[in-house]
Amino acid sequence: MNKVKRIIALTGALLLFCLYMSTLIFALIGSPVSTDLFKASLAATIIIPVLLYGYILTARVLAGKGADRETHRQNSDEKTDTSKDG
């Protein structure tokens, strides 16, 4: 699992680097289309990391709630088992 996380992180870092480089290149090109390409690249440079952060945060929260529910169920099961014994 650690190897997969590293590969995904490296891919994400490479994608961000490419976005930054394309933004710089589009800003320096003198073509009439470069303005639109620059705007799109700049928007992607801002929006993609924000969305990825949101997805990661949501996944952590949802994964944490699932673990809390399971722990709560186990604790409540243990309480009912001990109350029957005593």
Confidence band of 17 (pLDDT split at 50, 70, 90): very high
| Dist. CA 18–CA 26, nearest whole Å | 12
Count other Cβ atoms within 10 Å, centred on residue 52.
13
Q: Which residues of 62-81 are buried (b: 16+ CB within 10 A; e: fewer)?
A: eeeeeeeeeeeeeeeeeeee
pLDDT digits (tens, 9 = 90+) for 24-81: 888 888 888 888 988 898 898 899 888 888 888 888 888 877 555 566 566 666 666 5
